[in-house]
Structure 1
Amino acid sequence: MSCSTSSNQNNISDEIQGKINAHPCYSEGAHQHYARIHLAVAPACNIQCNYCNRKYDCSNESRPGVTSAKLSAENAIKKVLYVGGDISQLSVVGIAGPGDALANPKKTFDTFRMLQEKAPDLKLCLSTNGLRVADYIEEIVKYNIDHVTVTINTIDESGEIGSQIYPWVHFNHKKVWGKDGAKLLLQKQLEGIKMLTDRGILVKANSVLIPGINDKDLPNVAKKLKELNVFIHNIMPLLSSPEFGTKFGLDGVPSTTDQEVMQAQKACGVDMKLMSHCRQCRADAVGLIGEDRGDEFLTESFTNMSFEELETRYDIDGRKRKHANIENWRKHLELANKRIKLEKASKKELSSNGKTKLVAVTTSGEGMINMHFGSAQEFLVYEAGDKAIKFVMHRKIESSYSGADYGEDYNPIDEIKTSLKDCDILLTAKIGECPMNDLNEIGLICDEEYAHKPIEKSVHDAVIKHFYQKTKEIG
């Protein structure tokens, strides 16, 4: 089955469909069904980014560069086998830091070598800033790492934009500062990406949206990525709270808003297929995208177990049966949703009158509206008309409405109202009268009718119900 129900995916070959079908990062359609694990085996980094602060032993932040523990290659494999025994929908293992995978080549490739031996059913990924891709392209091919993420934030050849993002780049045993470092990094990124795509490796490009610095350049980045045959472009918001300890955060540079991300997606989506469901995961993330079960799998749980015990626990045949069941469910879900989702569409393709609505959804996964409003810490947002719908983004909040840990100075409904201020409908499994009244104040329609029903068809039906039917009745 395809990564979405859209007919505009027919130009993707069967080979690529096979690579992305169970990959939650490369396929929006897979991310509610399949899980991933990131292995924190790569602590060193060879560039400095003003939006990054690599934190260790940090369990209360969910963003790149953060991890609770560094792992040896051997313990990383043990963790995969241990986690895979509990989370049978695990399909992908990646090395995403907390530094740069290719700045730690021995640890990275030792880990991938053992993964091939012990967990051959998993897809292998790595994330990198791109500085050393050309140096390790043969190892990437050798270990069948067929998904690589490269973070590229600008293609400004002058180095002016890059120097505002990267103070220095470490290459050939020395630091290269300012514009010279930024130009060197860009040269190596473009060279490395071409090497990857020339060898048939799927590339996801990450770009951090930094308003006032690279926002105007990102459409140029998207055009260049298309020329290089990059598979998908992920535009991520700058996370810049002062407590994160990044230079941008300490300098008072504000975090990117959801609306700014949507504007950038609109500008870049003209040229590139976009990833809209990214959660900017930690370097030790475990579970479905949008959840992190890392605290359930502490290092002491598996380090003293033998590989024989762990391989029995992993139960590769049982995992295959689970994945077959997932695919069967997805086929039924696709039929239920009636193929009304497009991955890339204009307002005219979504709506007969060129006007669309934004619909927020609460879900705990499996493509269903199956979460109560009070438990939601994020909302999936869709754009919909009477003809079709498309997924736009997810929106996180600091605490769920029913969360017990927020202080007197913080009321989650205020953040939720800000996050959903441009949305027209909220579809949820259940919502209380008080929060419903609060959301009605900002013009948001709350609807429980579609509880435990498929998301995509429900989004489409709700827009017809609340807007198009009323228009017909008035007419």
Structure 2
Amino acid sequence: MPINFAREIEKKTFQHPCYNCIAHKYARMHIPVAPKCNVSCNFCNRKYDCVNESRPGVTSGILSPEEARDKFKIVKNKIKNLTVVGIAGPGDPLANFEETKKSIELIKEECPDITFCLSTNGLMLPAYAEELIKLGVTHVTITINAVDPEIDAQIYKYINYRGSTFVGPQAGKILLDNQLTGLRYLTEKGIVCKVNIVMIKGINDAHIPEIVKKVKECGAYMTNIMPLIPVKGSVFENRDTVDESELKSMRKKCEPYLKQMYHCRQCRADAIGSLNEDVSAQFRNYKKNVISIDKSEKIYKDDNKTGKVNRGYRFAVASSSGDYVDEHFGHVSQFYIYDVLDENIKFYEKRDVERYCNGQQECTGHDDRISGIIKCIEDCNGVLVLRIGFEPVIRLHEKGIKVFQMYSTIEEGIEKAVKLMSQVDKSSDS
């Protein structure tokens, strides 16, 4: 590693509040540009629109790369001690690599000296490690919760890897191999890598020292052992978490092997400010480009401030993972909301609903629940589902919401729906 590059990394690490406990006077900004995830963790429930929670995976909204750049400029102007831009979700940055790459490039044009870091589950790290280095990312955090595929199988429901879904120890082995391969490669190239470990009672707690020893062999700079947060709606919502003394004891136990992080705040995906003072709420209403939203069409102001307006569409998508249109309307507990403007598809938010169908005997007679679901998505032009019953189709039709039944990726499904709706709009205009 060249001496100048090593000195630059050392300086950036000194000014990075997550990597240096005495860097509390410096601020960081997390940009939530990565909504999709390729790993289903049993401890995760990515509730995007909750503004009162502080935990990984939570954000008040998703930004496009251009919006991230614009928000960065505002934040940088107001927070003079901002030294770090991080991408930590709310999904995985490498499952949204084009958005991640574009965001870094745009912000780097505005501020070449800013430190870029990202947090990843590591599944796609071998595929993108070299590109991350070329982009100028100097710090990478990898979450590694086990170095035994059998233990991983208890922590992860499934992984989506190169178009296929894997479960159990097979999923654990693929994930672990990629995590360690990516970690070795990055550290050999001089990138500073931190490893996050979620401490889960009865599953990986006794195994954590082995994780720390292994990641040290692979070049990790430090490990951050974090307590499980039993999030409502996750598989582990009723599992006990560790208390402060248990957490501290584990960190002390692992300290002889590798440097430990003691000051983690388990930050939101849109956190802004120092670790001790998250000021992200001050910047949540910075966007002024949306003029109005009508249930039949969305009107936006053009970015060049010409006052030009364009038609767009909003869709509610029934998806279990955020990748495919694969859920029955009656089984949905969360809709993925997407906006389309000038053929550009952009994730907007996630919305919780109360599912009304829990089996063949329970799928009728729930007018109140169906009404609640429709009210939740009444600003949408269409809904994409795997299957849907006759009654909700009629109710949606009455609200002017078109229904599209299919099985496809979300992007392909929205493209099909837009094409069909555009044809209808053209025939209506003529």
Shorter-normalised TM-score: what interval? Answer: 0.5 to 0.7
Give 2:59's match in structure 1, choosing from 67, 86, 93.
67
How far does residue 293 in structure 1 lie from its aligned partner after superposition? Answer: 1.1
CA RMSD, 1 decimal? 2.0
How far does residue 174 in structure 1 lie from its aligned partner after superposition? Answer: 1.1
Q: Share of identical aligned residues, percent?
A: 45
8 Å contact 1:78–1:303 — kept in the other structure? Answer: no
Relative to structure 1, the CA distance from residue 160 to residue 200 in structure 2 (aligned partners, 3 Å threshold; closer, same or farther) is same
Q: How many residues align?
A: 290
- Is 2:112 aligned against 1:120? yes
2:169 aligned counterpart, secondary structure? helix
Q: Please, what TM-score do these two structures have when normalized by structure 2?
A: 0.65
- Which residues in structure 2 correspond to 1:27-66 (within 5 Å)? 27-30=20-23, 32-66=24-58
8 Å contact 1:53–1:65 — kept in the other structure? Answer: yes
- For structure 1, which runs of at least 5 residues remain unmatched after alignment? 1-12, 310-475
- Is 2:267 aligned against 1:267? no
8 Å contact 1:75–1:303 — kept in the other structure? Answer: no
- Distance in 2 of aligned mates of 1:230 and 1:260: 23
Aligned counterpart, 1:173 = 163
- Distance in 2 of aligned mates of 1:306 and 1:24: 37
Deviates more, 1:186-195 or 1:254-263: 254-263
How far does residue 122 in structure 1 lie from its aligned partner after superposition? Answer: 1.1
1:146 aligned counterpart, secondary structure? strand
- Distance in 2 of aligned mates of 1:118 and 1:306: 21
Name the structure with the higher strand share: 2
Aligned counterpart, 1:454 = none
Relative to structure 1, the CA distance from residue 112 to residue 211 in structure 2 (aligned partners, 3 Å threshold; closer, same or farther) is same
- Distance in 1 of aligned mates of 2:302 and 2:274: 27
- Is 2:206 aligned against 1:247? no
Aligned-partner residue type, residue 68 of structure 1: S
Relative to structure 1, the CA distance from residue 54 to residue 300 in structure 2 (aligned partners, 3 Å threshold; closer, same or farther) is same
Q: Please, what TM-score do these two structures have when normalized by structure 1?
A: 0.59
- Distance in 1 of aligned mates of 2:83 and 2:180: 29
Relative to structure 1, the CA distance from residue 104 to residue 118 in structure 2 (aligned partners, 3 Å threshold; closer, same or farther) is same
8 Å contact 2:9–2:138 — kept in the other structure? Answer: no
8 Å contact 1:78–1:307 — kept in the other structure? Answer: no
Relative to structure 1, the CA distance from residue 302 to residue 137 in structure 2 (aligned partners, 3 Å threshold; closer, same or farther) is farther
Relative to structure 1, the CA distance from residue 72 to residue 43 in structure 2 (aligned partners, 3 Å threshold; closer, same or farther) is same
How far does residue 307 in structure 1 lie from its aligned partner after superposition? Answer: 10
Aligned-partner residue type, residue 34 of structure 1: Y
Aligned counterpart, 2:365 = none
Aligned counterpart, 1:86 = 78
- Which residues in structure 2 correspond to 1:46-445 (within 5 Å)? 46-156=38-148, 159-241=149-231, 244-249=232-237, 252-301=238-287
1:28 aligned counterpart, secondary structure? coil
Aligned-partner residue type, residue 23 of structure 1: H
How far does residue 14 in structure 1 lie from its aligned partner after superposition? Answer: 4.8
1:274 aligned counterpart, secondary structure? coil
Aligned-partner residue type, residue 154 of structure 1: A
Relative to structure 1, the CA distance from residue 308 to residue 148 in structure 2 (aligned partners, 3 Å threshold; closer, same or farther) is farther
1:247 aligned counterpart, secondary structure? coil
How far does residue 141 in structure 1 lie from its aligned partner after superposition? Answer: 1.1
Aligned-partner residue type, residue 188 of structure 1: N
- Distance in 2 of aligned mates of 1:73 and 1:197: 27
- Distance in 2 of aligned mates of 1:214 and 1:298: 37
- Distance in 1 of aligned mates of 2:235 and 2:275: 27
- Distance in 2 of aligned mates of 1:280 and 1:136: 25
How far does residue 57 in structure 1 lie from its aligned partner after superposition? Answer: 1.1
How far does residue 89 in structure 1 lie from its aligned partner after superposition? Answer: 0.8
8 Å contact 1:163–1:181 — kept in the other structure? Answer: yes
- Distance in 1 of aligned mates of 2:189 and 2:146: 24
Render the CA deviation track for 1:211-233: whole Å, top value 9, x for unaligned.
11101111011111111111111
Aligned-partner residue type, residue 254 of structure 2: C
Aligned-partner residue type, residue 272 of structure 1: L
Aligned-partner residue type, residue 235 of structure 2: K
Aligned-partner residue type, residue 262 of structure 2: S
1:196 aligned counterpart, secondary structure? helix
8 Å contact 1:21–1:27 — kept in the other structure? Answer: yes
- Distance in 2 of aligned mates of 1:17 and 1:284: 26
8 Å contact 1:82–1:302 — kept in the other structure? Answer: no
Aligned counterpart, 1:22 = 15
8 Å contact 2:289–2:303 — kept in the other structure? Answer: no
Render the CA deviation track for 1:427-470: whole Å, top value 9, x for unaligned.
xxxxxxxxxxxxxxxxxxxxxxxxxxxxxxxxxxxxxxxxxxxx
- Distance in 2 of aligned mates of 1:99 and 1:85: 28
How far does residue 255 in structure 1 lie from its aligned partner after superposition? Answer: 2.1
1:193 aligned counterpart, secondary structure? helix
Aligned-partner residue type, residue 176 of structure 2: L
8 Å contact 1:78–1:302 — kept in the other structure? Answer: no
8 Å contact 2:186–2:193 — kept in the other structure? Answer: yes
1:240 aligned counterpart, secondary structure? coil
How far does residue 287 in structure 1 lie from its aligned partner after superposition? Answer: 0.7
- For structure 2, which runs of at least 5 residues remain unmatched after alignment? 1-5, 291-300, 306-430
Aligned-partner residue type, residue 297 of structure 1: F
